[in-house]
Amino acid sequence: MGLIPQSVIEDVLARTDILQTVQQYVSLKRAGNNYKGLCPFHDENSPSFFVHPGMGIYKCFGCSEGGNVIQFLMSIEGWNFPETVRTLAERAGIEIPEESPQQAEAARKRREGKKIYLSIMEAARDFYQEQLWGARGEVARRYLAERGIDEETARTFGLGYAPDGWENTIEALGKKGFKPAWLERAGLAIANDRGGHYDRFRHRVVFPVVDVWGNTLAFGGRALASDGGGAKYINSPETPFYTKGEQLYGLDVAKAAMGKEEQALVVEGNFDVIALHGAGIGVTVAPMGTALTEVQARLLRRFARRVIIAFDGDSAGEEATLRCMGALESAGLEALVVRFDEADDPDTFVRREGADALRARMEAAQPLVAWALDRAIKPVEGATIEARLGALEAVGAILTQVKEPAAWEHYAREVARRLAIEPALLKDYLKRPPERRDQARQAVLKAGQGTRLPSAEYGVLAVLLDQPKWLSDFFREELDKLLSSQELADFLRVVQNHYQAHDGINRPLLLEATPPGGMRETVIAALAEVESQRLYGPEEALRWYRDCVRTLKKAWAVRMDEHLQRELNNVDFRSERERFVQINEQLEQVRQFRKALDLDASSPSSASG
């Protein structure tokens, strides 16, 4: 393609309304002779983006973006300069000379093809609407009334009726000069095996799919017959001028309300959209049976900052909700979710409970990432470490889609807390490529098996969880210094503080205060053992405790004996005689202590009064 003449560029700028163009992307309010709104190029809470129609320019005083309508479209759509000028020229009906006759002919054919296509779709829309409000449309009107859709709402969405029969659309559009082969390429007719054509939409309520510029691009149809004569819903096929993953049903009607409320409600079906609009929820759109695409998410981003997914309550709706996450995160949208009972959908919910009930659910909507993580974690929460590890693949897939580092850290900490996994180990696992996670998995598994304590120390833990009133004597007698595990000593101090603060043991709160990892696993096991030993009375518990304390003392004496013996072996008797004598005396004291413990085995000392 050759250079676009300056005269053509000037003509395009003169014949393009910058206000009308920008309003397709940004909700604007009048401010004197100008218009203002939230900037589409950076996040802000107070509007600093202005459009000056008289001068044909826009300017953001927050991020300094500015220019004419060509620069606006280049920035927001990512188009290059020639692509932008040609798009605006096509909308304004301006011819652009091409570099060669072949290029000129190809461009002319595409323009003519699109012009014919849009004319066909507009003629079909008019025909279907005439049928709905005419004599043949009674059955369709009755069906809409049964669904709670009034005439005003039906006309707002341009609903129509494709009458029963094989060639009604073909004949009606044929009278306007549109050939059956053209209708086939537009998706309105289907070729048969005899060289002829028949209507794609027959005896159906018809929904026109309209882009943000008001062009009818396609149709959806809902069957009225209940005799099994075809699919309940059918849609136009994709064409050179229509890609379903690039459009949102109802956006042409919803965009003004979305811009005002700065939020969108995304539902699954066309009827859901129409019913909710009829109930006064004018921010509703649908992705027309596809998983929400990144293009559709960017469309939403033009008009809203907050997107609420409200798909059907069945398992398919749940899976479809999950698939929306990546596109919404990539678009930088605040994504939330409303879920319904298994047999419910937005349409039936609103008809039964009312629009205010749905709005209340929208206000209380849960963040989509949090919902998805809860869905993965809840079934294994409190289960074995192996079961909890099984949820990590799903958790990893969810967190991979979270692009904001601060949000990722927040959710990773929450996952670590709920799965009782050491945060550092969890992050190591999640940040590794899937094929290199095995080593990190083994580390998580090993850490989650519980802190291995000597039997006497484990016994002390269990009995003090059962009899926390003995903790004050335990620390007063400095029995914590006999423990080989500093982690256990620190935890018992946590238990004492908890007991004093709550005048008892609140197990969920105590576990909440226990860092994820091996000690938490050991505490869970000890609490379970305490519960299973409820048949023991206080006297039995005291005997068990004293036995454990005596064993702790003996274990401490053994460790001290070995430690002092190693020190003694490293002392030079000739140069460090005083140190040698001192260690020998300490060693003798420890050995006397061990003998006393053995002699006293039949009459254990009380460590708690």
* Segment 434-440 mean pLDDT: 63
Say what the pLDDT of residue 604 is. 42
Bridging pattern class, strands 306-309 and 334-337 = parallel
* Segment 146-174 mean pLDDT: 95
Say what the pLDDT of residue 228 is. 55
Question: Is 369 a residue whose pLDDT tops 70?
Answer: yes
Say what the pLDDT of residue 7 is. 81
Query: Tens digit of pLDDT for each residue in 67-99?
Result: 999 999 988 887 888 888 888 888 888 877 766
Residue percentage of the chain with pLDDT more than 70: 90
> Which of 445, 439, 442, 415 lies closest to 427, judged by CA?
415
Query: Tens digit of pLDDT for each residue in 209-262?
Result: 998 878 999 999 999 976 556 788 899 999 999 998 989 999 999 988 888 888
Query: Tens digit of pLDDT for each residue in 17-64?
Result: 899 899 888 888 888 888 999 998 888 888 999 999 878 899 999 898
Tell me the pLDDT band of 607, cut-offs 50, 70 and 90.
very low
Query: Tens digit of pLDDT for each residue in 326-344?
Result: 999 888 889 999 999 988 8
Question: Is 354 a residue whose pLDDT tops 60?
Answer: yes
**H or E element, residue 359:** helix 355-363
The sign of the CA dihedral 151, 154, 157, 159 is negative
What count of Cα atoms within 13 Å lies in the side-chain half-sphere of residue 496? 14
Burial degree of 122 (CB within 10 A; 0-12, 13-18, 19+): middle
* Segment 428-441 mean pLDDT: 68
pLDDT greater at residue 139 or residue 456: 139
> Which of 274, 181, 162 lies closest to 219, judged by CA?
162
* Segment 105-115 mean pLDDT: 79
Mean predicted lDDT score pLDDT of the chain: 85
Say what the pLDDT of residue 282 is. 95
- Give the whole-angstrom CA distance, residue 235 versus residue 220: 4
Question: Is 362 a residue whose pLDDT tops 70?
Answer: yes
> Which of 414, 412, 411, 398 lies closest to 329, judged by CA?
398
Are 182 and 120 spatial neighbours (Cβ–Cβ below 8 Å)?
yes
Bridging pattern class, strands 263-266 and 306-309 = parallel
Tell me the pLDDT band of 600, cut-offs 50, 70 and 90.
low
Tell me the pLDDT band of 449, cut-offs 50, 70 and 90.
low
Query: Tens digit of pLDDT for each residue in 487-545?
Result: 788 889 988 998 888 888 887 788 777 765 667 777 777 777 666 555 457 777 788 88
* Segment 422-435 mean pLDDT: 74
Say what the pLDDT of residue 450 is. 54
**Nearest 5°: phi and psi at 569?**
-65, -20
- Is the pTM above the cut of 0.85? no
Are 245 and 290 spatial neighbours (Cβ–Cβ below 8 Å)?
yes
Say what the pLDDT of residue 425 is. 74
